[in-house]
């Protein structure tokens, strides 16, 4: 049995919704060697949860298994040519710190993903995205360890099957793969991505801006995010709580005919992503509460813990929102964070 694990570990500060639950067993891993040394013991557990920074995880009850908390660190330039660099980043690095390092080193592409909470290791899991950019566009390889066999496995970008907030790492049959590092391919030349209208307008409307740099884009994204999203350290939350539904052209047209103002975004394959937050807002649910859990006052897509919120209150709130959206818009919302 592992001797560096902890029993009855409080998880309150290890997930951003801050429910006061515990894990039967917990181990913190600080380097890859340590992980390999502990593999045979780890694989003995029937229930295992890999934890990064808990910003897309909501522990609803005590976890009757082992939480493996990855805190491995390291950012290494592994190759470069005239156009690109390849950078290997350990899973436990903080995502936003990595984005800052990239900008300082003039490795470009990730600026629009500034300030997304969480770890580098979790970024491929749900293919994080914001302001018109998805991380999949910059991932070359994902390195994993198979906890059952101890084998090191490298998955190419194509093999990860990245989609909107999805990848093979979300599938139950791949839960034996623990991501140890990610290799990014980043540009040496800065080409701003202003495909997201809100970001483009924000930059355009500022008369003081004379040139668009990566620092500037990152700073604008930071400002936009801070205006819209509550800081989980101040108000417990897990970011966007529901996926933006993706509709085929026919279903989208029916919805658009009924609700002319619904914000939607055309995807490449004749599908449309529609704004879940807009629907919740239209139902007048901003600020709505069940006990100490509620819809955020200014961002309808974010559910918050006002302090003493409990899992049963969250589950009731989810059910009320999903029912209301289904009745009014005929759409079944799905929850984005992992409910554990
Ligand atoms: C305020 C706020 C804003 C947010 N904004 C965005 C946004 O703009 N865009 C966006 O895409 N997301 C956003 N999120 C969601 C979240 O930031 C991302 O999903 C992030 O990647 C989660 O990282 P984490 O380390 O906290 O993951 P965790 O919650 O710890 O884990 C998430 C999932 O990844 C798995 N996992 C973690 N590490 C590993 C590993 N090493 N190997 C295998 N599996 C692993 C976990 O088991 C779990 O299934 C936001 C969240 C918050 C709270």
> Where are any strands of DSSP class E within the chain?
6-10, 22-29, 48-51, 57-58, 63-70, 75-80, 84-90, 129-130, 133-134, 139-146, 152-156, 177-187, 236-240, 246-248, 264-266, 271-274, 289-290, 293-295, 302-305, 338-339
The three-class DSSP label of residue 330 is coil
Pocket test for ligand 1, best of 65, 125, 230, 276 (most atoms within 8 A of CB): 125
Q: How far is the CA of 70 from the centre of ligand 1 (A)?
A: 13
Contact yes or no for 309/19 (Cβ under 8 A) = yes
Position 270 confidence tier, pLDDT thresholds 50, 70, 90: confident
- List domains and CATH numbers for the chain: 6-70 (3.30.43.10), 75-187 (3.30.465.10), 236-339 (3.90.78.10)
108 DSSP assignment: B
pLDDT above 70 for 191: yes
pLDDT at 267: 85
More confident residue, 172 or 156: 156
Catalytic residue among 119, 167, 240, 264: 240
pLDDT at 206: 85
d(CA 171, CA 168): 5
Query: Which ligand 1 atom is nearest residue 179's CA?
Result: 42
d(CA 126, CA 337): 10
Pocket test for ligand 1, best of 67, 68, 180, 239 (most atoms within 8 A of CB): 239
**HSE-CB for 116 with a 13 A CA cutoff:** 25
Q: How far is the CA of 68 from the centre of ligand 1 (A)?
A: 15
The three-class DSSP label of residue 246 is strand
Which segments of the chain does DSSP mark as H helices, in order? 32-42, 95-105, 197-204, 214-228, 249-258, 276-282, 311-329
List, for residues 2-45, the tens digit of each pLDDT value. Answer: 458 899 999 999 999 999 999 999 999 999 888 988 898 998 99
Mean pLDDT of 292-312: 97
pLDDT above 50 for 201: yes
Mean pLDDT of 92-115: 98
List, for residues 110-144, the tens digit of each pLDDT value. Answer: 999 999 999 999 999 999 999 999 999 999 999 99
Write the residue with the smallest CA distance to atom 4 of ligand 1.
239
Q: Name residues whose C-beta falls within 8 Å of residue 207's C-beta, 6 or more positions apart in sequence.
A: none
Q: How far is the CA of 115 from the centre of ligand 1 (A)?
A: 12
**336 catalytic residue (yes or no):** yes
Output the pTM of the full model.
0.93
Q: What is the pLDDT of the chain when averaged over all its residues?
A: 95
Structure tokens, 60: 């609803």
Query: Which ligand 1 atom is nearest residue 16's CA?
Result: 53
Q: How far is the CA of 59 from the centre of ligand 1 (A)?
A: 13
CA of residue 192 relative to chain centroid, distance:
22
Q: How far is the CA of 34 from the centre of ligand 1 (A)?
A: 23
Contact yes or no for 215/235 (Cβ under 8 A) = no
Catalytic residue among 111, 119, 165, 181: 165
Pocket test for ligand 1, best of 27, 52, 142 (most atoms within 8 A of CB): 52
Q: How far is the CA of 57 from the centre of ligand 1 (A)?
A: 7
The three-class DSSP label of residue 88 is strand
Position 1 confidence tier, pLDDT thresholds 50, 70, 90: very low
pLDDT at 3: 53
Ligand 1 surroundings by CB, under 6 angstroms: 16, 49-57, 70, 91, 116-119, 121-123, 125-126, 128-130, 169, 178-179, 229, 232, 237-239, 338
Write the residue with the smallest CA distance to atom 22 of ligand 1.
118
d(CA 116, CA 133): 12
**185 catalytic residue (yes or no):** no
- Sign of torsion over alpha carbons 108, 110, 112, 116: negative
Mean pLDDT of 257-281: 92
Contact yes or no for 144/179 (Cβ under 8 A) = yes
């Amino acid at each position: 049995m592992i001797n560096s694990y902890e029993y009855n570990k409080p998880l309150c500060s290890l997930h951003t919704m801050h429910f006061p639950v515990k894990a039967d067993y917990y181990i913190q891993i600080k380097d890859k060697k340590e992980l390999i040394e502990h593999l045979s013991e780890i694989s003995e557990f029937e229930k295992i949860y890999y934890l990064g920074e808990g910003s897309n995880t909501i522990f609803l009850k005590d976890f009757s298994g082992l939480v493996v908390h990855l805190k491995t660190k390291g950012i290494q330039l592994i190759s470069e040519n005239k156009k690109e660099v390849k950078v290997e980043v350990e899973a436990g690095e903080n995502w936003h710190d990595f984005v800052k390092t990239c900008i300082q080193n003039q490795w470009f592409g990730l600026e629009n993903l500034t300030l997304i909470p969480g770890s580098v290791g979790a970024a491929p899991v749900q293919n994080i995205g914001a302001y018109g950019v998805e991380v999949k566009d910059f991932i070359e390889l994902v390195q994993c360890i198979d906890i059952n066999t101890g084998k090191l496995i490298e998955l190419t970008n194509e093999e990860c099957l990245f989609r909107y907030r999805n990848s093979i790492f979300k599938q139950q049959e791949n839960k034996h793969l623990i991501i140890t590092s990610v290799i990014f391919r980043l540009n040496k030349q800065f080409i701003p991505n202003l495909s997201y209208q809100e970001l483009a307008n924000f930059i355009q409307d500022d008369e003081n801006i004379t040139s668009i740099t990566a620092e500037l884009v990152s700073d604008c994204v930071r400002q936009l995010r801070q205006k819209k999203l509550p800081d989980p350290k101040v108000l417990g939350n897990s970011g966007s709580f529901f996926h933006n539904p993706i509709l085929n052209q026919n279903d989208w047209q029916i919805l658009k005919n009924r609700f002319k103002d619904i914000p939607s975004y055309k995807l490449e394959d004749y599908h449309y992503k529609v704004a879940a937050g807009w629907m919740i807002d239209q139902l007048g649910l901003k600020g709505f509460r069940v006990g100490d859990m509620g819809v955020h006052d200014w961002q309808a897509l974010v559910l918050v813990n006002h302090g003493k919120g409990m899992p049963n209150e969250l589950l009731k709130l989810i059910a009320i929102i999903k029912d209301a959206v289904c009745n009014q818009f005929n759409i079944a919302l799905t929850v984005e964070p992992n409910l554990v």
